[in-house]
Structure 1
């Protein structure tokens, strides 16, 4: 399993929430701490700190970031799925960096339709593992809604995967997967691995100073369960995108699963974290 489906308003299978929970430690290890440090310095003196988290899922971003920022804090979690929001509310972030409280509220809806008015109270806007599911138009709307406020967007895939040991079919599978992420669904042309560059340009166009940092997953034998689940979703997407790969993928998957079982498979899945800081405070 890789990502949620592309409908940002409808309910999702319970298995997706379980996937988000299983990947949370890998996400936490990958996010770039120095970007959070820059935010902490900027938000000191803002009381309380109000954070709007877009596509919040099970709330992992808050659990990672809240202890790194000053408090008290109030998090507003936006997602299209009521089940995910319920899980997030049941497992809120711990206390802030200074030991002050963190409170949470949830708002269900299409995050790509949020307006600057709805985000007006935000001192910070966050998102994680979201951008590749958006279209160019949606990225533009999100950036416009965030204009004038700091934004931290983490773990956006950029289309770079490196498996060790190398297999001759790796590059073809990776290309098929990337094409799958750029597919058109219900009339929406997804940005996939092109989303980070588009988003950086959109924020820059709103007058923000944009910083990008690499935030790769590094999975090895100690992460065999997560690695296996990621790999299954990766090749399933490649097969769906290019049915002609079905034959070669059978042997490829068998080889990779044998390596995984033997503790010899590792993977680097590259992402980028984006920090957008307005050059003028509102």
Structure 2
């Protein structure tokens, strides 16, 4: 599930980042979520599912039986995600998969009727404030929790340091906010939105730690990070070319260390009052 203005993501990129995503997601938020899940079966809506990495990570950790409803606007990604979802959990519970093609503008409380959980990974930061509010409103209406992982926070650390690091980071963050997207402000915007609808919000850090063992991901991230910065500030192009060449060489040599900071968010809905339930 992606908005109209958001580019489709290449499956190769989604596959490349899956291991780092899995290592980064917060186990503490998952443990806090468990007591608030309703089922069986668990009914889980995965927004912007991509190739289905969130389902492959989360489904075995929850047990079964489960119904996963995968949402994305890209039919090819939906097909890929559905095929690659596990069919049983670690405890032998059955996993059933359904797909829903569409964008966030169609998400409502009725869409989520009967949901045990709404989840997403690397989605919030490519949304507008209105779209974030729409997710919070739909979850509140459906009285279901939301576990939203791996939103960028606008901070990266590269070692060894380079004089151009800060300038590229600033340009990249501005690019993330283009067209009114929340970008690095995603977790703050979402926290306020869910709180307005009465939810209790918890967040935890979920950084990518990229070293020699993840050099392919570090190199691809670098290319995209620099390209976005230059797209935002074309006057950086000349210096950025040399910077990228140096950084990729360090990456290939196994001496570059990168920390890309993200944050995970868990929103737990407020219980309905007796008057509201009547």
Question: Normalization by structure 2: what TM-score?
Answer: 0.93
Task: State yes or no: 1:7 paired with 2:4.
Answer: yes
- The equivalent position to 1:157 in structure 2, one of 152, 155, 162, is 152
2:36 equivalent in structure 1: 42
SS of the residue 1:125 aligns to: strand
Write out aligned runs for 1:159-198 (5 A). 159-184=154-179, 189-198=180-189
1:214 equivalent in structure 2: 205
Q: Distance in 2 between matches of 1:165 and 1:144?
A: 44
Q: Distance in 1 between matches of 2:252 and 2:116?
A: 46
Task: State yes or no: 1:29 paired with 2:20.
Answer: no
Q: How many residues align?
A: 271
Q: Distance in 2 between matches of 1:37 and 1:161?
A: 27
Distance 1:9 1:227, change over 3 A: closer
Q: Distance in 1 between matches of 2:72 and 2:5?
A: 8
SS of the residue 1:271 aligns to: strand
Query: Any unmatched runs of 5+ in structure 1?
Result: none
1:116 equivalent in structure 2: 109
Q: Distance in 2 between matches of 1:5 and 1:129?
A: 11
* Residues 5-37 of structure 1, C-alpha deviations (whole Å, 9 max, x = no match): 863688x47xx1111111111100000012112
How big is the alpha-carbon RMSD for the aligned residues of Structure 1 and Structure 2?
Answer: 1.8
Deviation at 1:113, TM superposition (A): 2.5
Moved over 3 A (4+): none
Question: Normalization by structure 1: what TM-score?
Answer: 0.92
* Residues 117-160 of structure 1, C-alpha deviations (whole Å, 9 max, x = no match): 11112110001100111111111111101112110000000101
